Amino acid sequence: MMKTVVLVLVVLGSLWLAGRQHGPLLQMRREYRLNWEEPLENSPPLVGFTTVALGGFRGIIADVLWLRASKLQEEKKYFELVQLADWITKLEPRFALVWAFHGWNMAYNISVLLDNPADRWRWVKHGFELMRDQGLFYNPGDPQLHRELGWIFQHKMGNILDQAHLYYKRAWAEEMAQLFDGPRPDYVFARAHPDDPRVKRMREQYRLDPALMQAVDAQYGPLDWRLPPAHAIYWAYRGRPYARGFDLVQIDRMIFQSMQDNFWSGRLVVEPAENIFTPSPNPDAFETVNRAYQAARAAHPEETSIQSAHRNFLKDAILVLYLHHYTRQARDAFERMREQYPDATSARSFEVFVRGEFRAQVRDMSQREALAMVEGLLGQAAQWLVIGEEDRWRGAYLAARYCWQEYMKTRTDPALVERTGLPPFAVLWQQARDRAAARARTAAAKARLAEAGEAAAPAEE
Amino acid sequence: MKPVLAIAWMAVRSAVRSRVVGVLLGLLFLAIIGLPLTVKSDGTLAGEVQVRLTYTLGAVLIILSIATWWAGCAAVSSEVQAKQIQLVLTKPVGRGAVWLGKWLGLVALNAALLAVSGAAIYGMIRWKLSPARLTEAQQRELREQILVARYSVAPQPLDVTAEARRIFAEQQKAGAVPTNQPVEQVVRAIEESLVRSAHTVPPGYKRTWVFELPAAPVGEQPVVLRYKFSSSEVTKGTLVRGLWLVGPVGKADRFELEQVNATDGAHAVAIPVSAFGGSRQVAVEYANINPLPIAVLFEPQGGIELQPYAGSFEGNLARALMLAWVQLAFVGAVALAAGTLLSLPVAALVTGYVLLLVKAGDYVALLATERGTFFSGAAQGQPGESALDWVLRQVLWVESALVQPLQGPNVLEYLTAGRALEWSAVAGAFLIKVVIYSGLCAAVTTFLFNRREIALPME
């Protein structure tokens, strides 16, 4: 009897000692980077049970569920797919690619098969929520999962390839507007009031850490957090410490590409009364984008694609800066481009380069380029109005009008207009004058801006 | 008949006494009430109802199938092993009556459990539909989309045989037909190409399909037009603008509906009953009015169908439960037959094999028709098939011929898609699975059971 008691005590003591080693072992695993993934702690009991109790059989079950999901998807029956994706991923919770695949499948493959933008948006959300809320919980240290999540923000929502991209942007901006006012949270308030319902929701539901957002904003901003590029940068930034080798190159690439997106369409123009919602160019972001490119070039000198991307960015940005009346920055950028990439242009002077780019771009503009150009020219026109330069404001105005018409005349299909069209010209002109009026100091300048709107004569020319 | 009913009653009573029924009821209620609390839908109301129906009814069928499988196998074999069967067989009761009684007991138990489960599932749906939870519009949406029974009517088939023969003759004359290909294969390829062309709508063109409905649509329930198409635009999800025109054949005044649909998606539009003008013969026309030149390709099989109202969801659920019951009766017959002739573990394996074979009936049929699948690797229609391949194919052909009649509509898929499970399907399934196949099981088992020595000295 005594022997049995001693043995039981030895067993219990050994178990206790083994348990005590768990924490230090996990810590050492982190410290020595025995693998890139963070150790999984506090997983739900059901996941713990399925991953341990089912053993090798869980692979077979996952395969059967996967086959069913594929069959249902082929048959266009989507109602079960969220549940099946949930089960498949829970059976292989530490296999980050499985989370990435199912999230991507829902956000990309299924969403586009639906007609209604609201239905599409639901599936895009299913996709990134699966990765963000669960995939990253089980794989907090997986850089690829961070990148895939960021990619949905950068490409699916941020780009203009999906017919419903504006719906996604608007829906996301509306969700963000419930968390903070204006383009970004009040970081000081968020830190001082972590239990504030909006701050809590931001942290718990959207997994947005205000301190991290502030760090991202300080390094890459200012960003408009109502727009997708800011979130693509955020998730890439969160995944960066875990990335090595080519993963790091890809994460860095996501950061500077999203920053570039922030330059092209990082200023949100909202006119609820007119139902206007347009992400438009943000010339103020030029310096930070350029810095990010320089940093990426220095970090990955062997990646020639980064150099090409930087060169192309400078080339495109010069015209945008010029058209938005950021003439000094545009000249600086031109000089930098000539210095760093002598083969980028054969133009002998800044003026020659700008004229050539303008002519070339009007012929073949993308939506964001067209908007950048029209907005920039209208901004210039408003500035000339402020200082009373009659000929110049009319010239810039007519150039903007010409660009708008050239771009829109090839878009006759309503679906194409919805996806890649520009806001009405009159609205853009009104906004340019409003911005100029806000900066104008004299009553005379404000009056000139108001009169130009009322007369609207040049618009008819 | 009295001894049969007495044995059936004893089987039911022993199941109730052994707490099998209690445990099963517990499991069934856990599935019906517990599952909907845990499963996730796609976020739509229709999706939620579909997921609940699929998982609750699916779980009920799985639980009852496994229970029937096991109970059927154990019903006689365990009594033989425990030497209790002698108590019955020494009485003036035929062995066939024993088998039939046990089977009827199983069947009756399944009927009762299915009825209870069906009522619980229906109660859950009614609860979901209650005015406190859903608005009138949402209830109507569910009643029109999911909680309904609709016929699926395909367009009248195109007869392209003569045209294909004519094209073949022309090509043969011009020397354009490869000489090493069988004639029928070439003609079939031409026919397929003609059918595909007939389902393609180039930019600016129209195509018309004629439907013969089972009856002229009446009442308030609209007729649903379901369709899916691909397009000449390779990008998935490209939106295409089209115009649907629906009306009685030969009438100029037609119902029009413009739609913008995603390529490769599944689409449905509701056509009001008034559009059909009391006619059974309906012309459905699609005009490709997309501003950009994109051709639209409807799948020849299942690419377009009309779904007129066939009846209520309640009736469909009842027929689904009957079909499930018929299937369980068949499972019970196979399991009981195996359990009567073999020991419990062997019987369970044999029954599992038979059920797997039935489930994979289409795949078995495919294997039976393809030459050189196993050893020789010769393509279909080519010489060089080995003798072993030939023998295996004949075995598969027999297996396929035996299991093909057992294939039927997938109850869950039909019910959740709002497709009508017709009375003819129920009657057909009953005739095949209960009368013929279960009857065959009974006859063969009785014959062999009568010849089996039960009380051998070594047993």
A396-453 pLDDT, tens digit per residue, is 887 788 788 878 877 777 777 777 888 888 888 888 888 888 878 888 888 888 887 6
Q: Which is nearest to A230 in space by CA: A273, A272, A190, A179?
A: A179
Residues of A in contact with B266 (CB under 8 A): 76, 113
User: Tokens 């004639």 correspond to what residue?
Assistant: B183
Q: Give B375's pLDDT tier (boundaries 50, 70, 90).
A: low
CB B310, CB B150: distance < 8 Å:
yes
Q: Give A354's pLDDT tier (boundaries 50, 70, 90).
A: confident
Nearest to B262 among A79, A80, A112 (CB): A112
**Strand B206-212 with B200-201, pairing:** unpaired
Please say if the pLDDT value at position B317 is more than 50. yes
CB spacing of A415 vs B241 below 8 angstroms: yes
pLDDT score of B429: 95
Please say if the pLDDT value at position A59 is more than 70. yes
Give the span between the Cα atoms of A220 and A230, in whole angstroms.
9
Give the span between the Cα atoms of B145 and B46, in whole angstroms.
8
Written as six digits, the tokens of A55 are: 């053993």
Q: Which is nearest to B75 in space by CA: B26, B7, B4?
A: B7
B302 inside 8 A of chain A by CB: no
Tell me what the mean pLDDT of segment B317-345 comes to.
94
Please say if the pLDDT value at position B14 is more than 90. no
A83 inside 8 A of chain B by CB: yes
Q: Give the model confidence (pLDDT) of A8-53 as tens digits.
A: 999 999 999 988 887 888 778 777 766 655 555 556 666 666 666 7
Residue B288's contacts (CB-CB under 8 Å, 6 or more residues apart) are B201, B202, B203, B204, B205, B206, B240, B242, B294, B295, B296
Q: Give the model confidence (pLDDT) of B58-71 as tens digits.
A: 999 999 999 899 88
> To the nearest whole angstrom, how far is the Cα of B9 from the nearest Cα of chain A?
39
Give the span between the Cα atoms of B276 and B293, in whole angstroms.
31
Residues of A in contact with B50 (CB under 8 A): 79-80
What type of residue sits at position A111?
S
CB spacing of B40 vs A82 below 8 angstroms: yes
Q: What is the overall mean pLDDT for chain A? A: 85
> To the nearest whole angstrom, how far is the Cα of B318 from the nearest Cα of chain A?
23
Q: Give B243's pLDDT tier (boundaries 50, 70, 90).
A: very high
Task: Give A194's DSSP letter.
Answer: T
Nearest to B239 among A111, A122, A163 (CB): A163
Residue B258's contacts (CB-CB under 8 Å, 6 or more residues apart) are B241, B242, B243, B244, B289
By C-alpha distance, the chain A residue nearest B45 is: A79
Q: Which is nearest to B310 in space by CA: B231, B215, B209?
A: B215
Mutate to test the interface with B, among A68, A83, A109 (most CBs of B within 10 A): A83
Q: Give A322's pLDDT tier (boundaries 50, 70, 90).
A: confident
pLDDT score of B289: 92
Give the span between the Cα atoms of A70 and A121, in whole angstroms.
21
Containing B298, the helix (H) or strand (E) segment is strand B296-298
Of the listed ranges A60-64, A105-109, B118-122, B206-210, the one predicted with least confidence: A60-64
CB B288, CB B205: distance < 8 Å:
yes
Give the span between the Cα atoms of B274 and B271, in whole angstroms.
8
Residue B296, helix vs strand vs coil: strand
Residues of A in contact with B44 (CB under 8 A): 79, 119, 122
Alpha helices in B293-422 (DSSP H): 313-341, 344-359, 361-369, 387-403, 411-417
Count of A-B CB contacts under 8 Å: 70
| Helix%, strand%, coil% for chain A, nearest 5 | 75, 0, 25
In chain B, which among 310-329 make CB contacts under 8 A with chain A? Answer: none
Residue B301, helix vs strand vs coil: coil
- Please state the length of chain A: 461
Give the span between the Cα atoms of B277 and B216, in whole angstroms.
8
B234 inside 8 A of chain A by CB: no
DSSP letter string over B13-79?
Answer: HHHHHTTHHHHHHHHHHIIIIIHHHH----SSHHHHHHHHHHHHHHHHHHHHHHHHHHHHHHHHHHH
Tell me what the mean pLDDT of segment B177-191 comes to.
83
Q: What is the overall mean pLDDT for chain B? A: 88
Strand partners, A307: none
pLDDT score of A275: 66
pLDDT score of B352: 94
DSSP letter string over B71-138?
Answer: HHHHHHHHHHHTT-HHHHHTSS--HHHHHHHHHHHHHHHHHHHHHHHHHHHHHHHHHHHSTTTS-HHH
Written as six digits, the tokens of A299 are: 């970090």
CB spacing of B40 vs A83 below 8 angstroms: yes
Give the span between the Cα atoms of A312 and A343, in whole angstroms.
12
CB A281, CB A304: distance < 8 Å:
no
Nearest to A113 among B42, B237, B416 (CB): B237
Most confident of A109-113, A361-365, A380-384: A109-113
CA angle, B205 then B209 then B213, to 5°: 155
B237 inside 8 A of chain A by CB: yes
Residue A120, helix vs strand vs coil: helix
Give the span between the Cα atoms of B151 and B282, in whole angstroms.
15
> To the nearest whole angstrom, how far is the Cα of B235 from the nearest Cα of chain A?
10
DSSP letter string over B183-206?
Answer: HHHHHHHHHHHHHHHHTEE-TT-E
Give the span between the Cα atoms of A337 and B156, in whole angstroms.
67
A122 inside 8 A of chain B by CB: yes
> To the nearest whole angstrom, how far is the Cα of A280 from the nearest Cα of chain B?
25
Residue A330's contacts (CB-CB under 8 Å, 6 or more residues apart) are A318, A319, A321, A322, A350, A354
Strand partners, B271: B223
A113 inside 8 A of chain B by CB: yes
> To the nearest whole angstrom, how far is the Cα of B353 from the nearest Cα of chain A?
18
> To the nearest whole angstrom, how far is the Cα of A415 from the nearest Cα of chain B?
8
Tell me what the mean pLDDT of segment A80-85 comes to.
89
Residue A277: phi and psi, rounded to 5, are -145, 100
Q: Give A460's pLDDT tier (boundaries 50, 70, 90).
A: very low
Nearest to A83 among B51, B237, B264 (CB): B51
Please say if the pLDDT value at position A454 is more than 60. no
Q: Does ipTM top 0.90?
A: no
- CA torsion A35-A41-A44-A46 (nearest 10°) is 50
Written as six digits, the tokens of B179 are: 């000489």
Encode burial over A320-353: b for 16+ CB neighbours within 10 A, e otherwise.
Answer: bbbbbbbeebbbbbbeebbeebeebbeeeebeeb
Number of neighbouring beta carbons within 10 Å of residue A267:
19
Residues of A in contact with B265 (CB under 8 A): 76, 112-115
Q: Give the model confidence (pLDDT) of A194-248 as tens digits.
A: 999 999 999 999 999 999 999 999 988 789 999 999 999 999 999 999 888 888 8
Q: Give B374's pLDDT tier (boundaries 50, 70, 90).
A: low
Please say if the pLDDT value at position A459 is more than 50. no
Mutate to test the interface with A, among B37, B42, B53, B362 (most CBs of A within 10 A): B42
> To the nearest whole angstrom, how far is the Cα of A388 from the nearest Cα of chain B?
45
CB B342, CB B334: distance < 8 Å:
no
Tell me the angle at which helices B361-369 and B344-359 cross, rounded to the nearest 10 degrees. 70
CB B247, CB B276: distance < 8 Å:
yes
CB B102, CB B7: distance < 8 Å:
yes
A47 inside 8 A of chain B by CB: no
Please say if the pLDDT value at position B369 is more than 90. no
CB spacing of A83 vs B41 below 8 angstroms: yes
Q: Give B145's pLDDT tier (boundaries 50, 70, 90).
A: confident
Residues of B in contact with A159 (CB under 8 A): none
Share of chain B above pLDDT 70, in %: 96
pLDDT score of A461: 35
Q: Which is nearest to B97 in space by CA: B6, B205, B190?
A: B6
Of the listed ranges A271-285, B27-41, B177-191, B375-389, the one predicted with least confidence: B375-389
By C-alpha distance, the chain B residue nearest A106 is: B42
Q: Give B290's pLDDT tier (boundaries 50, 70, 90).
A: confident
> To the nearest whole angstrom, how far is the Cα of B170 from the nearest Cα of chain A?
38
B267 inside 8 A of chain A by CB: yes
Q: For A101, what's the count of Cα atoms within 13 Å in the CB-facing half-sphere?
A: 15
B262 inside 8 A of chain A by CB: yes
pLDDT score of B39: 85
- CA torsion B107-B113-B119-B123 (nearest 10°) is -160
